[in-house]
Structure 1
């Protein structure tokens, strides 16, 4: 089976990493695959290419370059001759349908929607138009995949085709994301973390919905009450030079905050974390939550998307956009005994093993693709 994956982009993000995880987790071995990025190859493109999968970058900067992108897609489709085209994210979904129309043979089309739809007003004007176009054209897709039950419900309520939709959760490489005491010590030495420090971690690119400001406000509250707590933040454009985040952390607490910027070794950084925090006010199925749990880190997370179902009884959930509640959750987790936190971390790891192993998720995609191409 030949499958062409068409993604809005390949920068570091949940959807892009989910695509790579599927391919690396076995999907690439079950099909002849190629990947198209409407933008550039980003950080994920080279990883996909290293799997031996062709990656094509359309370098689309705006709709002005749309004609050039369409021509490029036509060439790729006619050369590759896919049996199925899989779109990733709103723009990628539309491009996937357009690519299928260009193919001379009948080509199955699957869409993949990777976010919740709490409020259209928070989306950029152009993105709102693209989402509306998804609504209008969704009945022409053979399948609409969501990674979150809430995302499915919200998009169906908005008007996307319900009779073509199904949920396939994110999956995780349990060998890459696993407890590793040696790596834990190495990372803590790298950042000169005191041996008795309790490290709270946060991993997310800077974006309003990730709500870094609420996390930092909560972190400051916790730091003032617990002297041995340190914070490790990783993510593109996440630093105190960012105007949105400047002046939240007082000077006297600065030495207890580490900002790494964008990192490609998140699986290593998570080993150093005693507690993981997700502070977003909008998510569908956040990869970082499952990754941290797979590494054995108990989590304090906002109750958004499918976080409640992911965490289960292995962590603490708090309301979104509430730094006071977030601080209370972090304090509660921090005040637990080391043994109690370790027990929660072990339960979190077991939950990911039982429900979200990448191999099981790959099988769900393969089964769907086989049905679509029969």
Structure 2
């Protein structure tokens, strides 16, 4: 190890140089937060970077022009060329700290072990049921982490109980100052009441629960449409959802848009935002619903109850009748719907903005 490999020291926020490490730039919550962090930090520190290890995507266009970018095109877990390329990038750009999101921690650890002066903070976005989560290799690896960021209280407690990093903190997800650009598209459905659900097509998001609730709503409110946005891998789960829509004769009322660059333009056109998940971390979709000023309904999972508080409706997961009733109450009570939407919008602006969160994260990076 030569002397230059050790010349990484964080003196102040002004000269800090931070790299976001993420496996993909497709439209998932962890991916969106990596881009949000990179762009937010670029305005506040000496230099901000983002490295996408495996697969680029629509979110690349959302990166600030002030963010240094690297794509590794990593082929497998032990891709030596990718490791060498990233290590060189870290050295050449004098990066002080790597913020490794989700599964990218392994590659970040290899870089840290070869450049021990570089700090490593793992950002845990895990959104599945924690009772069955096993620490596995994270347990021995975590003793080399300089810190862990958790996206909700449960994840913070899990890391404190199961991992070895001394510094574990829960930081809220937050919205960037500027939102996605791209072509503005129209929601289908004419002058119907438009319900939107921004969630990638994964079992944890439980679209089937939402579809069953929507069927109940259609009986009383036929001029209602459902709009599903999110990454669709065309796997068995998405096939199941599409078959259900077809078999229940919902093709004229349920619209699937897939992964979209400018999600906010769709949300702005909706009348109601919903999440029907079985499990969650701290979903970005809720924050985006709030920013748009639309009322929200969510299953009571992850950090959703803390985010919404009394400014929206919470229902038990996997209870389509309760979900339908919550939707019905908003459709039939215009005054409550507007009041809750405004209250939730104010909560998001005051609590989940980069101006609030980033200074706290920077202090965490320094310790």
Please, which of 221, 230, 235 is the counterpart of residue 226 of structure 1?
Answer: 221
Please, which of 161, 164, 167 is the counterpart of residue 164 of structure 1?
Answer: 167
> CA offsets per residue over residues 320-351 of structure 1, 9 Å max, x none?
12223222222222222x22211110000001
SS at match of 1:246: helix
Shift in alpha-carbon separation, 1:87–1:191, aligned structure 2, 3 A: closer
- Confirm or deny: 8 A CA contact 1:240 1:246 kept in the other structure: no
Shift in alpha-carbon separation, 1:192–1:71, aligned structure 2, 3 A: closer
1:140 aligns with 2:140: no
Please, which of 321, 331, 346 is the counterpart of residue 350 of structure 1?
Answer: 346
- Confirm or deny: 8 A CA contact 1:6 1:92 kept in the other structure: yes
Shift of 1:9: 2.2
1:213 aligns with 2:228: no
Provide the residue aligned with 1:308 in structure 2.
305
Alpha-carbon distance in structure 1 between the residues aligned to 2:70 and 2:233: 29
Structure 1 stretches of 5 or more lacking a match?
Answer: 178-182
Alpha-carbon distance in structure 2 between the residues aligned to 1:120 and 1:150: 11
Shift of 1:7: 1.6
Q: Structure 1 stretch 135-144 or stretch 39-48: which is displaced more?
A: 39-48
Shift of 1:154: 2.8
1:245 aligns with 2:248: no
Provide the residue aligned with 2:129 in structure 1.
118
> CA offsets per residue over residues 151-191 of structure 1, 9 Å max, x none?
2123333x1236310011111136649xxxxx9xx86xx34
TM-score of the two chains, using structure 2 as the length reference: 0.87
Structure 2 stretches of 5 or more lacking a match?
Answer: 1-15
Q: Structure 1 stretch 315-324 or stretch 270-279: which is displaced more?
A: 315-324
Size of the alignment, in residue pairs?
348
> CA offsets per residue over residues 5-27 of structure 1, 9 Å max, x none?
22222221111111212232344
TM-score of the two chains, using structure 1 as the length reference: 0.85
1:278 aligns with 2:298: no
Shift in alpha-carbon separation, 1:25–1:34, aligned structure 2, 3 A: closer
Shift in alpha-carbon separation, 1:26–1:80, aligned structure 2, 3 A: closer
Please, which of 322, 325, 328 is the counterpart of residue 325 of structure 1?
Answer: 322
The alignment's C-alpha RMSD in Å is 2.5
Q: How does 1:33-112 map to 2 (within 5 A)?
A: 33-48=48-63, 50-63=64-77, 65-89=78-102, 91-103=103-115, 106-112=117-123
Shift in alpha-carbon separation, 1:171–1:119, aligned structure 2, 3 A: closer
Provide the residue aligned with 1:297 in structure 2.
294
Shift in alpha-carbon separation, 1:341–1:239, aligned structure 2, 3 A: farther
Shift of 1:252: 4.6
